């Protein structure tokens, strides 16, 4: 995690500017590192250089928008930085072995194995609007959202804030595991403390828009079952359009202070258009 802190500004900058060419001078200016050092640290964390990371993020964002929305393929390709449909289609097929149109037309197949057991189940949901809030956070790069690594970070955060009963806790699920490379899954452990700042954490804003709220009760170890219900509900019941920004988990206050995992409550907030 220490290595991530060294290039945190670079990572944020690349993600915000994933759809354009980024110069060496820009990266050196925001990081105060040489380009060689930036690339060395970046590759150690992500097992790919900045250019490869940028191309992967660009295509994964495009993939999410193809299956989550009804935007035209032409609009998506231009918006994520490709000069034409043809350039996007070629890059997309090289990576995912299907065309953008095939991905859109067969999106149910992407989720089929994941949701198969939940085809006759139901889950309650609620549409809500959430204002932006400022949080402090740490970023992890995990293997398919490894619960043990994530839990270890939360243990540290909870211990640091155990005397503050007004804190809200959130997890930002940056990548879509059914699309992204599992061992590069990014997760942000976030907490809101109002005006109080805690040393060695980064700050950002989350939320700001409309969400569908689903709720998982019990241990986080079984939360995939709720995600299966969630994606089935989206595909076959509600058919709403998902915004391609990250899903956010809200760990309801009070649940973290119990030793009984059956009392845990996690609200899964899916951004929608």
* pLDDT tens string 157-184: 988 887 777 789 999 999 998 898 888 8
**pLDDT at position 46, please?**
86
More confident site: 142 or 171:
171
Q: 18: which strand partners?
A: none
Q: Which residues of 153-163 are buried (b: 16+ CB within 10 A; e: fewer)?
A: bbeebeeebee
**pLDDT at position 45, please?**
86
Q: Where are the strands (E) in the chain, listed by range?
A: 126-130, 133-142, 168-173, 185-192, 202-206, 209-217, 247-251, 265-271
**pLDDT at position 114, please?**
87
Distance CA 231, CA 265 (A): 19
**pLDDT at position 1, please?**
56
pTM: 0.91
Distance CA 143, CA 19 (A): 26
Do 245 and 184 touch, CB atoms closer than 8 A?
no
* Longest distance between any two alpha carbons in the chain, whole Å: 56
Q: Percentage of the chain surpassing pLDDT 70? A: 95
Could you read off the pLDDT of 77-106 as tens digits, one per residue?
A: 999 999 999 999 999 999 999 999 999 999
Structural domain spans, the chain: 2-105, 126-271
Distance CA 145, CA 166 (A): 27
- Fold (topology level) of 126-271: Multidrug-efflux Transporter 1 Regulator Bmrr; Chain A (3.20.80)
Residue 2 reports pLDDT greater than 60: no
Three-state secondary structure readout of 2-60: HHHHHCHHHHHHHHHCCCCCCCHHHHHHHHCCCHHHHHHHHHHHHCCCHHHHHHHHHHH
**pLDDT at position 263, please?**
80
Do 85 and 268 touch, CB atoms closer than 8 A?
no
- Fold (topology level) of 2-105: Arc Repressor Mutant, subunit A (1.10.10)
Could you read off the pLDDT of 245-259 as tens digits, one per residue?
A: 999 999 985 545 556
């Amino acid at each position: 995690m220490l290595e991530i802190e060294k290039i945190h500004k670079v990572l944020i900058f690349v993600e915000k500017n994933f759809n354009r060419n980024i110069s060496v001078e820009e990266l050196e200016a925001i990081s105060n590192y040489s380009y060689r050092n930036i690339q060395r640290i970046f590759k150690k964390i992500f097992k790919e250089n900045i250019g490869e990371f940028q191309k992967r993020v660009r295509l994964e964002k495009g993939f999410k928008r193809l299956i989550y929305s009804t935007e035209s393929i032409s609009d998506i390709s231009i918006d994520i930085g490709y000069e034409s449909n043809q350039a996007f289609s070629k890059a997309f097929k090289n990576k995912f072995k299907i065309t953008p149109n095939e991905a859109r037309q067969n999106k149910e197949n992407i989720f089929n194995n994941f949701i198969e057991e939940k085809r006759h189940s139901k889950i309650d949901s609620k549409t809500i609007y959430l204002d932006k809030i400022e949080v402090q956070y740490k970023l992890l790069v995990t293997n398919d959202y490894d619960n043990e690594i994530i839990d270890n970070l939360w243990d540290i955060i909870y211990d640091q804030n155990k005397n503050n009963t007004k804190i809200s806790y959130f997890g930002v699920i940056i990548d879509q595991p059914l699309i992204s490379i599992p061992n590069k899954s990014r997760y942000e452990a976030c907490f809101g403390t109002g005006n109080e700042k805690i040393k060695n954490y980064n700050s950002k804003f989350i939320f700001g828009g409309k969400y569908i709220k689903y709720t998982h009760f019990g241990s986080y170890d079984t939360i995939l079952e709720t995600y299966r219900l969630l994606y089935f509900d989206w595909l076959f019941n509600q058919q709403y359009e998902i915004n391609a920004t990250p899903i956010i988990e809200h760990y309801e206050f009070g649940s973290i202070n119990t030793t009984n995992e059956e009392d845990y409550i996690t609200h899964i907030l899916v951004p929608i258009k």
